[in-house]
């Protein structure tokens, strides 16, 4: 059995636009590892069948639904919560933090979509639970559905990535400089070197509502802030030197550039599934 359990998450629309292609590329190039597909909206029968594909129905996940219920006060009514909107536009601009909103406002673009990005946290929690069962896997790697694999990633290569590190991520010097979040479209955690412990810290931050003290509530930003607070856990930023722009698209400058393409933002720009966060 492979050491690595990859995990992804999507609903029906995202599956149709990018998820289906991602799964096909994962199988086609021969990634060494299993893939846990967490899904919503009854698409299990549409997902490609393979020996190394595992399925988990988020529609019946009590962890996800308990979190959505516990945080309904910051989730817009249109998304199933009780938040009716903010009055930030009535305040003097000097009171604003970003794009016309005060700090910690649930109406800020990144925060408005936090309930959707939380699906990634629920997916990683389930992946870690599976990994811990009889120590089935040594590491968990999350994949955004808008990733396309180009070349097989071997266990040996993953061994080299995780050497001396509990988790790896994509950040880079320019994202670091502007204080934005970690790129979580391809991020991994190891049982060794307290990587699973770090992932649990992030999960706990969401469960306890501690994440609300951060300026943004998307998973990548919370990952960064928890990482900054725990320098004792060895980690690895796999992004190398790169041009100033486009600084957000850092996977193409990292250790996995020849193995995959991350079509970051395609759900918004190309397919029109979401509005821009800010």
Structure confidence by residue, pLDDT tens digits, 104-163: 899 988 899 999 999 999 999 999 999 999 899 999 999 999 999 999 999 999 999 999
Distance CA 156, CA 60 (A): 36
For position 266, what pLDDT does the model report? Answer: 59
Is the preceding omega at residue 68 within 30 degrees of 0, hence cis? Answer: no
Q: How far is CA 128 from the centre of its chain?
A: 14
Quick: pLDDT tens for 126-138. Answer: 999 999 998 999 9
pTM of the model: 0.92
Tokens 């193995």 belong to residue:
259
Q: Report all structural domains of the chain as residue ranges with CATH numbers, in order of start.
A: 4-269 (3.90.550.10)
Percent of the chain with pLDDT over 90: 79
Rounded to the nearest 5 percent, the helix, strand and coil shares of the chain are 45, 20, 40
- Can you name the residues that pair with 139 across neighbouring β-strands? 4, 190
Q: What pLDDT score does 76 carry? A: 96
Q: Residue written as tokens 């991020």?
A: 187
Q: Model confidence over 245-261: pLDDT tens digits?
A: 665 789 999 999 999 99
For residue 148, give Cα distances in angstroms to 3, 5, 98, 118, 178.
21, 17, 33, 22, 27
Say which residues have a Cβ less than 8 Å from residue 6's Cβ, sequence separation at least 6: 26, 31, 33, 34, 35, 36, 140, 141, 142, 143
């Amino acid at each position: 059995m492979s050491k690595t359990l990859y995990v992804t998450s999507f609903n029906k629309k995202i599956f149709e636009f990018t998820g289906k292609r991602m799964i096909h590329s994962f199988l086609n190039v021969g990634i060494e590892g299993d893939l846990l597909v967490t899904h919503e909206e009854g698409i299990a029968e549409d997902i490609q069948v393979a020996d190394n594909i595992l399925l988990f129905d988020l529609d019946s996940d009590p962890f996800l639904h308990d979190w959505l219920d516990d945080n309904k006060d910051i989730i817009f009514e249109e998304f199933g919560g009780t938040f009716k909107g903010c009055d930030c536009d009535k305040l003097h601009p000097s009171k604003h933090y970003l794009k016309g909103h005060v700090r910690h406002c649930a109406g800020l673009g990144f925060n408005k979509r936090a309930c959707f990005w939380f699906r990634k946290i629920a997916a990683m929690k389930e992946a870690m639970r599976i990994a811990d069962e009889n120590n089935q896997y040594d590491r968990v790697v999350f994949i955004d559905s808008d990733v396309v694999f180009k070349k097989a990633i071997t266990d040996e290569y993953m061994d080299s990535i995780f050497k001396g590190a509990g988790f790896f991520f994509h950040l880079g010097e320019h994202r670091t400089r502007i204080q934005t979040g970690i790129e979580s479209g391809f991020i991994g955690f190891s049982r060794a070197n307290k990587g699973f412990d770090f992932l649990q810290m992030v999960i706990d931050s969401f469960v306890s509502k501690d994440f609300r003290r951060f300026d943004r509530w998307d998973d990548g930003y919370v990952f960064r802030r928890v990482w900054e607070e725990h320098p004792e856990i060895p980690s690895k930023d796999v992004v190398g030197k790169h041009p100033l722009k486009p600084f957000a698209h850092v996977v193409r400058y990292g250790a996995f550039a020849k193995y995959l393409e991350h079509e970051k933002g395609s759900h918004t720009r190309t397919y029109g599934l979401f509005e821009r966060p800010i």
